[in-house]
């Protein structure tokens, strides 16, 4: 899809030009410093509030529970708890600090933390979740192999879908750095959910490639993973098992090879990607000017 967009999309070529221009601006170097060292911390609660107002509408769906992956608890969970009018119960899954995870210091009522490595361990909640959100990105600075980050994304998708209630909502954090991976995620979500939206914040992390793919009305929350209807979940599970058996390059089937035929099935994928591209172009132009 990356080559296709370079060839077909003027917006995509423009975005890449603007990113290079932004990176050359010495006066904007502070934007690229890590969280906690820039001029101000990133307000993920602001980001989620924007997503909520555009798509989620958490305050009107009588939310009873949510699962937060790679955040235990964080800004996301503070916002979700308040948006539910302090009625929903939260569960957070994150890597323990002693195992290399981040230390989360926020306290959210009715929130349970489970420490585990989602790239190795599986988790099946007794009660499936109505809303799931992930924050699993950019945590592989010193990790061992080139497929680590792709596996982290795949693991968070599989982990979330196995615990999502039928009809539930899944907001997956991903990236525009790898267009083939992003395209495959959107394609799979189009097959697993009734409606799919893409979101790029206009207020926080606007210069970065992070974005969200949001699936509404999950179709397969009542079926078992082994059910033939769940061919997409079975595909992810097979890659998950292959990676943990040491066959790391198998992930390339998901992160580099397209799972669909662009002329026949790619129009909706392209449309949802274009929403992200046009949003980021506007945001970067605002920073440059």
Domains annotated for the chain, with CATH where assigned, are 2-288 (3.40.50.12760)
Please write the tens of the pLDDT for every residue from 172-190: 999 999 999 999 999 999 9
- Identify the segments of the chain with pLDDT beneath 50: 35-40
Dist. CA 168–CA 164, nearest whole Å: 6
Q: What is the pLDDT of residue 226?
A: 61
Q: What is the pLDDT of residue 37?
A: 43
Q: What is the pLDDT of residue 36?
A: 46
pTM for the structure as a whole: 0.91
Which pairs count as long-range contacts for 194-198, CB under 8 Å and 24+ apart, including other chains? 194/218, 194/219, 196/272, 197/55, 197/272, 198/272, 198/273, 198/275, 198/276
Residues with Cβ within 8 Å of 172's Cβ and at least 6 positions away in sequence, in order, are 134, 156, 157, 160, 185, 189, 212, 213, 214, 215
Q: What is the pLDDT of residue 70?
A: 86
Measured torsion, CA atoms of residues 239, 157, 119, 262, in degrees rounded to the nearest 10: 40
Q: What is the pLDDT of residue 157?
A: 95
- Residue 287's CB: how many other CB atoms inside 10 A? 13
């Amino acid at each position: 899809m990356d080559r296709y967009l370079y060839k077909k999309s003027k917006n995509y070529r423009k975005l890449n030009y603007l990113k290079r221009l932004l990176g050359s601006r010495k006066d904007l170097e502070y934007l690229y410093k890590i969280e906690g060292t820039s001029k101000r911390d990133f307000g993920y609660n602001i980001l989620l509030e924007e997503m909520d107002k555009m798509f989620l509408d958490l305050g009107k769906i009588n939310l009873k529970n949510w699962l937060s992956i790679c955040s235990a608890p964080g800004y996301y969970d503070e916002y979700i708890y308040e948006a539910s009018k302090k009625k929903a119960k939260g569960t957070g899954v994150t890597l323990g600090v002693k195992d290399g995870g981040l230390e989360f210091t926020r306290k959210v009522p009715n929130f349970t933390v489970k420490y585990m490595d989602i790239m190795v361990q599986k988790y099946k909640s007794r009660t499936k979740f109505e809303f799931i959100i992930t924050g699993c990105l950019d945590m592989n600075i010193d990790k061992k192999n080139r497929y680590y980050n792709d596996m982290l994304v795949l693991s968070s998708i599989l982990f979330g879908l196995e615990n999502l209630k039928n009809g539930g909502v899944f907001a997956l954090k991903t990236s525009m750095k790898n267009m083939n991976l992003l395209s495959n995620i959107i394609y799979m979500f189009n097959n697993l959910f009734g409606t799919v939206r893409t979101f790029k914040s206009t207020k926080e992390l606007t210069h970065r490639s992070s974005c969200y793919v949001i699936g509404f009305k999950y179709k397969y929350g009542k079926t078992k993973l082994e059910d033939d209807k769940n061919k997409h979940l079975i595909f992810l599970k097979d890659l998950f098992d292959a990676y943990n058996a040491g066959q790391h390059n198998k992930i390339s089937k998901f992160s580099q090879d397209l799972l669909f035929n662009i002329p026949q099935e790619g129009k909706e994928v392209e449309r949802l990607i274009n929403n992200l591209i046009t949003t980021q172009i506007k945001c970067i132009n605002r920073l440059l000017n």
